[in-house]
Chain A
Amino acid sequence: MTVPRDFDCVVKHREQVLCGVVKTVFDCAEIASHALPGQFVQIEPSPDVFPVTRRPITINRLTGNGFELLFDVVGSGTELMAQMRPGDTVRVLGPLGRGWAIDPGSSWLLIGGGLGAAGFQFLMNSVDSVTVLIGASGSDRVVPLDSCRVITEDGSAGEKGLVTALISEELLDGADSIAVCGPVAMMEAVWNTIPEKHRRKVQVSTESRMGCGWGVCDGCSIPVSGGGYKKCCREGPVFPGVEIDWKRWKEAGL
């Protein structure tokens, strides 16, 4: 794995893609040439002393000379990030974590919930064969991806219902690998929908309240089966689904 480094990156592009969802493109040839699908970067929301930690954001796709982030504005840190404009210089640590394990030539089924699908584009661009299912509460939460089947709870985009309704035996049979990313409750529902015989193919991209992002603070621990924890930032964020202790993870309510 490439050793992450701390870079001063220049913002190249910024646009609001959905209500409260911002896309920002950063220039950084080193991260662009080393990052793997599913990895993330730690963004410093402000050069000031506060906030005291960075914000971990999954790389949504690589651009020619940099990388693109797609993030939900949910608090003071991401609000500061939403204000970043082209020409601004931002401190970025990355690339971080362990991304999707991709076997050459494998066919993939991607199942995303809401903003959890931000990050799928990089994976879609890196595999030969892919089917993408996206579930969201409404059309204003559907992440723009090159091609996907959409279902929304209110029916405002695609079919009406939950993403689990799109999962079929045929799709599961046809996939060598299954990628899941979204809120914990959605991922658990997907996990429970997938029959035992297909579960070894499942990888999940986890999220946690993160401190350092590079493995030292033990703050972002994910409960794993058999007891104990693994670090979301360093041993994840992508884990085999069978490795997750779903019961304790849900209990943690992250």
Chain B
Amino acid sequence: MSGPLLELEGVHTHIGAYHILHGVDLQVARGELTVLLGRNGAGKTTTLRTIMGLWHASAGHVRFDGQEIGAQSTPEIARKGIAYVPENMGIFADLTVRENMILAARGAKNAEEIDAKRLEWVFSLFPAMKKFWQHPAGLLSGGQKQMLAVARAIVEPRHLLLVDEPSKGLAPAIIQNMIAAFRELKQTDTTILLVEQNFNFARQLGDQVAVMDGGRIVHSGTMAALAEDEALQQRLLGLSLGAHQ
């Protein structure tokens, strides 16, 4: 099937009295990793939450695989094969790593029912998950929590991953591990929409890139083109992102 896997057209989102998204047009191509860049408050997280149905668009269309999902509830959207890793990681701190993974694997009633081969693969990406399998997730370090959040999103095959700032607050070594994991993930034909502020991180992973500002997409194109064009980077990303490079 052709056409983008996910498509936003003229999406407006209000949160209470505040108008956050002002007509977002975004296409996420199948099998590719699209990075959504932009400074704080540009509307990146709101875009992901709107896709997930956690907030509903007041106008515009959200289409997944050609089908309108804008009016559906969050669980319905998730069941279409969309996984979400929120900025706060959404770890259930009182539950163990194992229990977190059981919940992420919708088809499994207990740990034994999680696809063993898939789980081994997840462990190979994030060995810490195997090591701390029986530990409360709240005791994990920040980087390990981020790994758990991503591991949860991929423990069963999903069509689309929405990942909000996976590099936030992580040590450089952990970021390298995360980049490696995403590269591995890209091999599995999973489509990924990644929100980032760290351009360096984004540049190593992205196929496509979209830049947000003031609740709109102000630029979209290939990552390769943006990576080569210093002037464009300066213009689009401003100084706040320059600091990361």
Are A and B physically bound partners? no
Chain B residues close to A by CB (< 8 Å): none
Interface residues of A (CB under 8 A from B): none
